[in-house]
Amino acid sequence: MMKAVIITGCNGLIGSESVKFFISKGYRVIGIDNDMRSYFFGNESSTKHIGDSLQEEFDNFTLHNIDIRDYSSLESIFKKESSNIEIIIHTAAQPSHDWASKEPLTDFTINALGTVNLLELFRLNCPKASFIFTSTNKVYGDRPNQLPLIELDKRYECIIDNDLFSIDENMSIDNSKHSIFGASKVSADIFVQEYGKYFNLNTVVFRGGCLTGKNHKGSELHGFLSYLVKCAIKNKKYTIFGYKGKQVRDNIHSSDLVNMFWHFHQNPKCGEIYNAGGGRDNSVSILESIDKINYYSKLNWNNYEISLQERSGDHQWYISDLTKFKNHYPEWSVKISIDQIIKEMVELELKLNNY
Listed by start position, the domains of the chain span 4-352
Q: How far apart are CA 330 and CA 196, in angstroms?
A: 23
Region of residue 35 (phi > 0: left; psi between -120 and 50: alpha; otherwise: beta): left
Q: Can you tell me whether residue 13 is helix, strand or coil?
A: helix
pTM of the model: 0.95
Cβ 184 vs Cβ 115: under 8 Å:
no
Identify which of 95, 37, 34 has the alpha carbon closest to the alpha carbon of residue 68.
34
Give the number of other CB atoms < 10 A from CB of residue 299: 15
Distances (CA, A) of 289 to 40, 168, 177, 349: 26, 24, 27, 15
Quick one: 281 exposed, middle or buried, by C-beta within 10 A (0-12, 13-18, 19+)?
A: exposed
Q: How far apart are CA 76 and CA 267, in angstroms?
A: 29
Q: How far apart are CA 2 and CA 83, in angstroms?
A: 10
The superfamily (CATH) of domain 4-352 is: NAD(P)-binding Rossmann-like Domain (3.40.50.720)
Q: How many CA atoms lie within 13 A of 129 on its CB side?
A: 29
pLDDT at 311: 83
Identify which of 1, 5, 33, 2 has the alpha carbon closest to the alpha carbon of residue 261.
5
Digit-by-digit pLDDT tens for the chain (355 residues) are: 789 999 999 999 999 999 999 999 999 999 999 999 999 989 988 999 999 999 999 999 999 999 999 999 999 999 999 999 999 999 999 998 889 999 999 999 999 999 999 999 999 999 999 999 999 999 999 999 999 999 999 999 999 999 999 999 999 999 999 999 999 999 999 999 999 999 999 999 999 989 998 887 766 656 689 899 999 999 999 999 999 999 999 999 999 999 999 999 999 999 999 999 999 999 999 999 999 999 999 999 999 999 998 887 789 999 999 999 999 999 999 999 999 999 999 999 999 988 8
pLDDT at 215: 80
Cβ 41 vs Cβ 19: under 8 Å:
no
pLDDT at 222: 64
Please spell the DSSP secondary structure of 36-65, one letter per residue: HHHHHH-GGG--HHHHHHHHHH-TTEEEE-
Q: Can you tell me whether residue 263 is helix, strand or coil?
A: helix
